Structure 1
Amino acid sequence: MTVLITGARGKVGRAVTSRLRAAGRPVRAASADPARLTVPAGVEVAELVLDRPETFPAALDGVREVFLYPEPGGIDAFVETARAAGVEHIVLLSSSSVLAPGAETDPLASHSLRVERALAASGLPCTFLRADAFASNALGWSHPIGQGQPIRLAYPDAHIAPIHPEDIADIAAEALTGAALKGRAVTLTGGQSLTFREQLAVLAGVLDRDITVETITHAEAEQQMSRFMPAPMVRSLLALWAAACAGPAPIAETTHTLLGRPARTFHQWATENAAAFTGR
């Protein structure tokens, strides 16, 4: 039974593809630009653009399971095509933000929520992996750290429980190959609550160098972040981080609780990705 991996150029998509192929499962890796895919030997590639329904039939031909990145554009047509193709199970990489108050109108949460609702209404068996903050979000600090610049944050003491992308891939692979997670909606975190300041201290230790943290105002952070992302998303993130200063982040499901294996730590992620912070 072929498994279709959407977003196969992404970190999690690539890791899931490799795990399924190593387990001997037939895999088709899909991307809007399949020529740029790098896949293990024996993995098929296909074009799939989630807001272009004409790409769906060929990508889904013979597929029984799908690992899906959340893209609301075209999701209704995707569901219809998947059902017609005989898809039996969809595993969605969703977001824990869908559980927050006001998720329907939040620019971060609504993206995943719309996809969850379309899948829930489809009648197809689905698994929702509601991932919290990725450890790899720390790569947003790589340029200033590499240049020896301070990290300027409005809420340096906001708590999150960052999850290693490889843990997400492990859980997704289990959801696609086993029965224990089928039909469930699970919130995924790492195994430890860390503030941004504490994450930066971990990076400083790994890099063996000082990293200066400067606290700035909410308005200054809004101006800084608006250079890189839409204003509604900036406001949503800053509100989330302001609320997260109240105390340690809750620990939800992890590879320990779901798979019986220790969750990878932020220190492990930092060690594996130290080169990204060197400025070279």
Structure 2
Amino acid sequence: MQRTVLVTGGTGRVGGQVVARLVEAEGVRVRVLSRDPARASGALGPQVEVVGGDLTARDSLSAALDGVDGLFLVFPSVTADHAAGRLVATLAERVRRIVYLSTHGVPDDPDHAAEPDGTILGSHAHLEGLLAGSAAEYAFLRSSGFAANTLAWAPQIQQSDVLRWFVPQARRALVHEADLGAVAARLLTDDRHQRAAHHLTGPEQLTQVEQLAAIGAALGRTLRYEEMDSAEAAAELFPEMPAGVAAAIIAGHAAMITQPEPVTDTVRHLLGRPALTFAQWARDHVEDFTGRQ
């Protein structure tokens, strides 16, 4: 029996991986929700149906949700929290299974009635609580830090062998977006592992200095990390961000010196293979760091 799966964020890094894995799966019709259907259709190709709609305007979702069995949900955290309650009610009524891209740090038993607090973690906790209280089947992908976040280094690396950044000894277990996409596709098409939260990480803890070295190895270059202090980093790297948010990002990295991101075997458990290494991720993204496409 063929099932229809709707993917939000289908042209993004994680959503794009979900689409790619679902297209390969037997008996799956892949649909992508987009606010710009013409542009998304050009990027995704003829195997994928693209339907217009906006998660913050639930009345725009009727056609996209028609006949949908499963949904991969990427929610615009914080900025759309005001629409979360109405959106989840609509999704739970129309879709049997929802796989939500969340984040590590959400409490294991989210409060179904908790209101968002203006933070990214609070937004994810709010969505999880709403979904757990209303969706027939759900799975939460509580991701460790994305390996793709290091693409913020690309502009500097394209110009120099020196990276000026903060907290070089922050130790992280960054996860490859291909693993997130593969796990999401598995949960959308496999009847096991439902009504559960899955903590996904990379296979190893690396400091930011070690991450930079892995990128350098992929490029065949020797890269050097130049540490910035907190005030300097906030001013130069996050000039348009509210000061409190920038400070929280830097402080969060500082905390990972003594409390590094944990490593889990969730990817192996769900996919039957080890999680992809950061070195592999760096090799997969050489063109991003050279600027040559």
TM-score for the superposition, normalised by structure 2: 0.88
Find 1:45's aligned residue among 44, 50, 55. Answer: 50
Moved more, 253-262 or 234-243: 253-262
Q: Which residue of 2 aligns with 1:151?
A: 163
Structure-2 separation of matches of 1:274 and 1:17: 22
Shift of the alpha carbon at 1:97? 3.5
Shift of the alpha carbon at 1:65? 0.9
Find 1:8's aligned residue among 7, 10, 16. Answer: 10
Shift of the alpha carbon at 1:19? 1.4
Structure-2 separation of matches of 1:248 and 1:80: 37
- Unaligned segments of structure 2, at least 5 residues: 109-114
Structure 1 vs Structure 2 CA RMSD: 2.0
Moved more, 146-155 or 29-38: 146-155
Percent of residue pairs bearing the same amino acid type: 37
Q: Which residue of 2 aligns with 1:200?
A: 212
Shift of the alpha carbon at 1:247? 5.1
Structure-2 separation of matches of 1:93 and 1:253: 18
Q: Which residue of 1 aligns with 2:290?
A: 278
TM-score for the superposition, normalised by structure 1: 0.92
> The residue matched to 1:26 in structure 2 has which SS?
strand
Instruction: Assess, with a 3 A threshold, how the Cα gap between structure 1 residues 70 and 22 changes in structure 2: closer, same or farther.
Output: same
Corresponding position: 1:82 with 2:91: yes
Q: Which amino acid aligns with 2:186?
A: E
Q: Which residue of 1 aligns with 2:267?
A: 255
Q: How many residues align?
A: 277
Q: Which residue of 2 aligns with 1:115?
A: 127
Q: Which amino acid aligns with 1:96?
A: H
Instruction: Assess, with a 3 A threshold, how the Cα gap between structure 1 residues 105 and 76 changes in structure 2: closer, same or farther.
Output: closer
Whether the 8 Å CA contact 2:198–2:266 is kept in 1: the answer is no
Q: Which residue of 2 aligns with 1:215?
A: 227
Shift of the alpha carbon at 1:245? 0.6
Shift of the alpha carbon at 1:104? 5.9
Q: For residues 163-193 of structure 1, give each alpha carbon's deviation from its aligned partner in whole angstroms, at most 9, with x where no partner exists.
A: 1000001100111011222111011100010
Q: Which amino acid aligns with 1:209?
A: R
> The residue matched to 2:6 in structure 1 has which SS?
strand
Corresponding position: 1:70 with 2:70: no
Shift of the alpha carbon at 1:40? 4.3
Structure-2 separation of matches of 1:232 and 1:56: 35
